[in-house]
Amino acid sequence: MSHPDVIVVGGGIGGLGAAYSLTRQGLGVRLLERAPAFGEVGAGIQLAPNCTRILDDYGLLDEAKSLGVVPDAMVMRDAVDGAELTRLDLRDLERRYGYPYLVIHRSDLHGLLLRACERAGVELITDARVDAYENTGGGARVTLASGATHEAGLVIAADGLHSAARKLLADDEPVSSAYVAYRGTVPAGSPRVSRVDLGEVAVYVGPGCHFVHYGLRGGKLLNQVAVFESPKALAGREDWGTPDELDAAFARTCDFVRDGLPFMWRDKWWRMFDRDPITTWVDDRIALLGDCAHPPLQYIAQGAIMAVEDGWVLGEHVARNRAADGSVDWSAALAAYQAVRPEHCRRVLTTSRTWGELWHLDGLAREQRNALLRARDTYDYAFTDWLYGPTALTPEQEPDMFTPIPLSSATGPGRRTAIDRTGDPTWRPKESSQCS
């Protein structure tokens, strides 16, 4: 085979997004997918303005909107009593950031990006499991399980949580959160859906669990997600996350939440893992992208978005470091990518962990959290400005984080900027959470 300019390993959302971004810059891209066919599992996915802005730049936003739902509000409720705690006006949020908040079926987003890559001329190869990566001096090579090799000027590893390429840069393993997710969709004609406002993204936060729902495919489906902490996982058992644990975890929640559990796909579940942040993603001509670099917990709905951002940022730096003859100064482009993305994604990973802890509080801490959330003004965007604005291309463009405040401030006057789960005003977290 002739050598492309770039090889992308992994045909998920991140890999397809990167392949399309670089093909737009006039590069020849070959994408290697280990499965026998392209596809995506799961159900709904949330795309905040920092992602829909990029889809618009790619010319794909209108198609995405036609496949998904642009909701009116995001509402957080207490899972025990069902009471509203806080909300975001997503139409006002669109005016603030210039782009909509969109919810879409994961397979629809994947298919949209796959079709874009096909139109752009990306070379798509399936049944190509990559077992090894190596730099060659002026380029990089991957070796497949079949023994075949592929070479290019750059190799992008978008090979997910259990990445083989990550081992070049970090000696670590995925970190179990002991939480598990169940998912399911309900047709719009079901009585269950008649009780739901499909213009809302709703999150019910409860002790050791939470429940999410929103509409998909133009309101034809209701997407539901139930997440809980597994006692079996905490006890070190292998058989954790089973349906009996699902039912037990939500026994204390309100009727509406419990009534949603029978609609879950109870024969499969997703154990929630992330990894500790790493600060180096580039090894000569091999670069990490997406979940292999920064797999987050799901609490601020940025996992796929970060992967899309990675590919867009890399494409922008290719454009800035390309000579008149079409050659790319890969050292400069990768240095610029390395300078900005790891720190942003570190913030998202650590914030996701902390926000998940806040969602799942019990006792007095739950009451304090609820009081602070109720006190928040609907149009206070201090919680989202650092995340939903334009994707930074340089470290100087990365916005400041907000200042956390202790849960104990719920008992007296306090600033409405963020929440510190410990209640200790002297404690300084790696990053705090955001209310979204």
pLDDT tens sequence across 96-140: 999 999 999 999 999 999 999 999 999 999 999 999 999 998 899
* DSSP per-residue codes, 107-125: HHHHHHHHHHHHHHT-EEE
266-320 confidence digits (pLDDT tens): 999 999 999 999 999 999 999 999 999 999 999 999 999 999 999 999 999 999 9
pLDDT number for residue 160? 94
Note whether 342 and 280 are within 8 A (CB). Answer: yes
Say what percent of the chain tops pLDDT 90.
88
214-235 confidence digits (pLDDT tens): 999 999 999 999 999 999 999 9
Element (H, E) at 182: strand 175-187
pLDDT number for residue 383? 87
pLDDT top residue among 10 and 38: 10
387-421 confidence digits (pLDDT tens): 999 999 999 999 998 778 789 888 643 333 344 44
Residue 1 pLDDT grade (very low, low, confident, very high; cuts 50, 70, 90): low
Say what percent of the chain tops pLDDT 70.
94
Given a cut of 70, is residue 195 above it in pLDDT?
yes
Alpha carbons within 13 A on the beta-carbon side of 36? 0
What domains lie within the chain, and their CATH numbers?
1-37+126-172+279-360 (3.50.50.60), 41-105+175-274 (3.30.9.30), 361-436 (no CATH)
Residue 428 pLDDT grade (very low, low, confident, very high; cuts 50, 70, 90): very low
* DSSP per-residue codes, 274-309: E----S--EETTEEE-GGGT-PPPSTTS-HHHHHHH
pTM: 0.92
pLDDT number for residue 39? 82
pLDDT number for residue 134? 97
pLDDT number for residue 411? 64
Measured distance CA(9)–CA(16) in Å, rounded: 10
* Catalytic residue annotation: 214
Residue 41 pLDDT grade (very low, low, confident, very high; cuts 50, 70, 90): confident
Three-state SS annotation for 313-339: HHHHHHHHCECCCCCECHHHHHHHHHH
What are the Cα distances from residue 305, in Å, to 30, 50, 168, 231, 312?
22, 8, 24, 31, 11
Average pLDDT over residues 42-49: 92
Average pLDDT over residues 326-344: 97
Average pLDDT over residues 163-185: 96
Given a cut of 70, is residue 155 above it in pLDDT?
yes
pLDDT number for residue 367? 95
Residue 263 pLDDT grade (very low, low, confident, very high; cuts 50, 70, 90): very high
CB within 8 A of 304, min separation 6: which ones? 13, 14, 45, 47, 51, 106, 109
Measured distance CA(201)–CA(71) in Å, rounded: 7
Residue 40 pLDDT grade (very low, low, confident, very high; cuts 50, 70, 90): confident
Helix (H, G, I), strand (E, B) or coil at 42: coil
What end-to-end distance do the CA atoms of the chain give, in Å? Answer: 48
Given a cut of 50, is residue 423 above it in pLDDT?
no
Given a cut of 50, is residue 436 above it in pLDDT?
no
